[in-house]
Structure 1
Amino acid sequence: MSQARLADAIVRLEKHRNLNLPLRSRDLFGRFLLRLLWKRQLKGQVDFNLAVRDAVDALSQGGGRAAASEDLAVEVEKLRSADQNIMAGLNQRLYAAIGGIRTEVTDLRLQLVDRETAADDVAARLDRIERRLAELDSAALDTRLRHAQLDLFLDRARATAPEVEVTSAPDRSAALELPVAHLLDGPADLTRTTRAAYLPVVEAAHGPVLDVAPSRGEWLEVLRSADVPASGASPNPFVVKHCGELGLAVEEADPLDALARTAKRSLGAVTAFRFVERRDAAALSRFFDLAGQALKPGGVLLLETPNPDGPGMADFHVDPFARRPVHPTFLRFLAEVAGFSRIEVRYPDGGPLDGWPATAAPDAARAGRYCLLAWM
């Protein structure tokens, strides 16, 4: 190998010692990839080039023999060929990496465009929501204004309107009293016929009658047909209305309150059917006391109730208003405590009043109801 060729090889190796790749100053991707590949392959290639340069330089300075020069020339050619192959591979990998990065950048740009589009949609929806909120605020303001106007109108109406007494609505159970009376006592004609048997006892008292449990008014109708003055008291507005339609005088009031307002020694009789089993012991005790005060001498207290010792308990369990069966002994005791002078317990299922037995034996077990008669 001639000295000129060795000198030329040394110059070219010196020129390419740092692998001056043809990268443009603005080629940021190429510079970025070159920095990434430096530690893996390019640094080794530079070291190899420097070693070849040093070997060729030593060979030129030592003026070796022709055979060694020929061998060195062969080696240099091999190195040149290997260097070209390495450079070609590096360029291929470099440009492939650059292409992949460009593809990723393109994808990122597309995703950015999609997100910007989605952001625009969200902004549009927010604008619609804000407009809707503004409409709702306007509607709420209008509603508050209307309410204020309505309150002002109501205040003026209350200031000028006359006072109206408000009564409480009747209890729903009150509507059941009349149908239950029909269920327990049967047709009104039958009830009038049955209770007409008590008429001689009341007529003998010679005085007005107060019935504290008028129900359908059958007993008051019997008294009216016999020209016996009579009235009633009931807290049930349905009962009061029904009796009023029949032309009967029934006051809407608690029976005990009506008795308390009655003048003392003014009544000939106080009567009650299906009454005592619907009251507690305290109310019954007060009832006997008030009745004793309202009855004139010779007046009579007449009470009819199911017989707890007989078949009348079937009716008691059907009655939704009944609290407990009342034994005749207890009613007799209350009458004695209230000051009644004569007390009898009779069982009306045996026949007419005059024929009823005055004692419990032997008809009490067969009687479905009993009657307490107490005279002042």
Structure 2
Amino acid sequence: VDRDETARLSEGNRAVVTNDLEAANATADILSPKPFPAPVVGSLINLLRSFGQPFVRLFLPQLARQQQFNAHVARHMNQLQKTIEELRNAAEELSRLEERFAERSEAIDRRFSEKDAEKDAAFSSISARFNEAAKVHDEIEGQIGELMALRSMLRTAVERAPASSEAGRITKKTVTTKTPEIEPTSWSQLTEWMEDEDYRSFQDRFRGNPEVIAERMREHVVRFDGVEGRVADLGCGRGEFLDLLAEAGIDAIGVEINATDAEECRRRGHDAVVSDLLEWLSEQKDDSLGGVFMAQVIEHLAPPDWQRFVELAAAKLEAGGRFVVETINPGSLYALARAYVVDPTHIRPVHPELLSFLARRSGLCAVDVQFQAPVPDEERPTGLAFFQGDTSVEMSEELAAIREAMSRLDQICCAPQEYTLQATRPALREPA
């Protein structure tokens, strides 16, 4: 019998038992007088019954015992019915718990099945990587063996070579060379080999769509809220950030070494000058700028120019002026391999701790570094998603060690691609 049929039979039995209990409770007291329905005669008979009740109990003790028995039976039946109701409710609650347990069990089974599939895929990927590494290792060992054999052959040939005369002997000479000093190269010098139009085409190809760049730079606009002086966008490029500043009602000027880009900025209604950014900064009055902004430019400067740039910017900012620099994160191997080496005008990336040190040393305060542009999940090494997943899942010591190693590898290879440093010119100059 299915559950619905059982419930239907149970409800029918409950109705029968309830009716029987009501009848038993109503007739259990056989000695109590029952009201007679007739108006006059009934009242007289009921009165006689009331006076005759003690005599009935006196002369008919068996009726009293029967009434006592009936009362006990009715009381026990009522208690039994109450117990049955409690058991029925408990059975229904148990049935609900059983259904919930079945649902949870199915969910857990699905979860374990998914994790097993992910684990198998991760182990397959790792196994393939190890096999590739082993193959490369074997190839390198083979090449080393060949080089060792070649060296042995050359040594034997030299030892067997005839030495008929002093002139024919092989003599060793010490050659000394002086490494020429390399002067630091500025950004403007690096771009001399590439025409303005060529570099503009290069930017369009590798920097990205202007609308996408503008959307990424929008978060920097709020960093200049409340400044009074003009904001200088150093290396303004195609003018994406100048557009955003104008949209926010912030007065700004663009400084760009590329004449084609500067002309494009002016065509879009912005004030832009063609100049080397360090030269332009040095020509400005002290305490005259409300903000200095530089995005993806400082890596084009030589290391000696980093400190000069930060010191000049700090000197030209007014009290409360903002200093904001966005650049590539050298702590991300992904960013270095996929973006930094593409641009031939890059000189060296700047570590965020070094840039923070230079900012504080130049008298800026409230130095803050924020990382952005995470590596897309589809670009991360296969298997990292599993090893960085649910840490509540128990695993063996070997698998836990692999997870820890993969997590460290992810932190090195797939750290955020960019960072932004923000600092403020204090009201009073702080000592270096």
If asked which structure has higher relative contact order (CA below 8 Å, sep 6+), I would say 2
TM-score normalised by the chain length of structure 2: 0.43
TM-score normalised by the chain length of structure 1: 0.49
Please tell me whether Structure 1 or Structure 2 has the larger radius of gyration of its CA atoms.
Answer: 1
